[in-house]
Amino acid sequence: MTATSVAPVEAPQSGVGTGRGARTAELLQRNGALLVLVLVCLVASLSFDTFATTSNLRNVAVQSSFLALVAFGMTFVILTGGIDLSVGSVYALGGVLVAYGAQYGTVLGLVLPIGACALIGLVQGLVISRGGLPPFIVTLAGLLAVRGLVLLVTDEGAQVRTIPEGPLRTLGRGTLLGLQYSVWIVVIAFLVLAVVLARTGFGQSLYAIGGRGDAARLMGLPVARSTTLVYVLSATLAGTAGALLAARSSSGVPIVGVGVELDAIAAVVIGGTLLTGGAGTLRGTLCGVLLLGVIQNCINLVGSLNSSYQSLVSGAFLVVVVVVQTQLARKQQL
């Protein structure tokens, strides 16, 4: 049975709850992040003259693009009720491998990081889906081991390779219609992944797995294969994001990406995806990433505040969001 032949599964988020309150709650939960994003942007453009300028918004887009790719993958993982703590290390691995591969040509510079990261995702996915070990532990071990690989590639962190002039640097710095390539890649990834999630059997099976894993298995869904694929996707996207960052900064730095997994999880949660799995959207995640980016941008614009205020605000914001989300989710179930 191929993944595409599976009949679409009704996503639990649509159709749960009956009353009007439940429907409003559902609508709010799905679009809450978008709503807040619009509000924050409105307030920001009224408060700062420089916020709503093209160059500033372009900046926000570029700076959010790397986290966006990681968070897309994390959304898929969390939809199945899993978690991927290894993405920060994989992000760093993507960066050092693009610089390593670039020494032997552009093609290898692209194939090496993406291939290696996909392989790491495959190993983790197989251990989780076939070995039956908890995702939290497996990817925690992945976080450690992949950081080890990063150090191995860079001569224990001592060697920072630069990417030679060529197509790879253009990929990192070049623009199309005024937007950086990395932003375009995020746009394409978003469109493709959103279609995969909403319109393919694989995407729909993820909602079923996250909603009720054993029920999905009894229905004959390829649970193990879908679960494995999700971790492959997450690692590939994280590696790609790291490679793009390295291409932008022209070198593969081994110490990047510490804590990226937490930012990605925060963005996914802000976007309305339930950590228990089974409900969530890619659109929400994109809004979550942009919200974190806009908050950071606003604090930069204030100027007198340092970066510690940024984490303080993001943390406080996260508390408010999860409290509201939890209440909304509970209302839907009533």
Partner 1 sequence: MASTVVRTPPEAAAPARSRFDRQRVTHWLSVNGVYVALLLVLLVDGLFLDRFLSVNNLRTQLVQVVPVLIVALGMALVIGTEGIDLSVGAVMALAAAILPLYLGYGWPIAVLMAMLVGALAGVLNGTLVAVVGVQPIVATLALLVGGRGLALVLADGQAKQILDPGLIGFGSDRVLGIPKTVILAVLLVLLVGFVVRRTTFGRQLLAVGGNPRASRLAGLPVRRTLIGVYVISGVLAAIAGVVITARLNYSDPSSVGTLVELSAITAVVVGGTPLSGGRVRVLGTVAGALLMQLLGATLNQFNVPDSTTRIIQALVILVAVGLQRSGRTT
Q: Would you tell me which residues interact with partner 1 (CB under 8 A)?
A: 83, 127, 131-134, 136-138, 140-145, 147-152, 156-157, 214, 217-218, 258, 262, 265-266, 269, 275-276, 306, 308-316, 318-319, 322-323, 326-327, 330
65 close to 182: Cβ distance less than 8 angstroms: yes
Residue 185 CB, nearest distance to partner 1 (Å)?
27
Residue 319 and residue 270 in contact, taking contact as beta carbons nearer than 8 Å: no
Using alpha carbons, select from 65, 91, 330, 77 the residue that is nearest to residue 228.
77
CB of 105: closest distance to partner 1 in angstroms?
A: 25
Answer left, alpha or beta for residue 87, where phi above 0 means left and psi between -120 and 50 means alpha.
alpha
Distance, in Å, from the CA atom of 300 to the CA atom of 186, rounded to the nearest integer, reads: 24
Q: How far is the CB of 331 from partner 1 (least distance, A)?
A: 12
Angle at 95 between CA 57 and CA 238, to 5 degrees: 70
Closer to partner 1 by CB, 52 or 137: give it. 137
State the nearest-atom distance from the C-beta of 212 to partner 1, in Å: 11
On whether the CB atoms of residues 122 and 138 are closer than 8 A, the answer is no
Q: In the complex, what is the shortest distance from the CB of residue 154 to partner 1, in angstroms, rounded to a whole number?
A: 9
Angle between helices 201-211 and 181-199 (to 10 degrees): 70
C-beta closer to partner 1: residue 98 or 299: 299
Nearer to partner 1, 181 or 207 (CB): 207
Q: Of the two residues 236 and 296, which places its CB atom closer to partner 1 in the complex?
A: 296
User: Closest CB to partner 1 among 50 and 326?
Assistant: 326
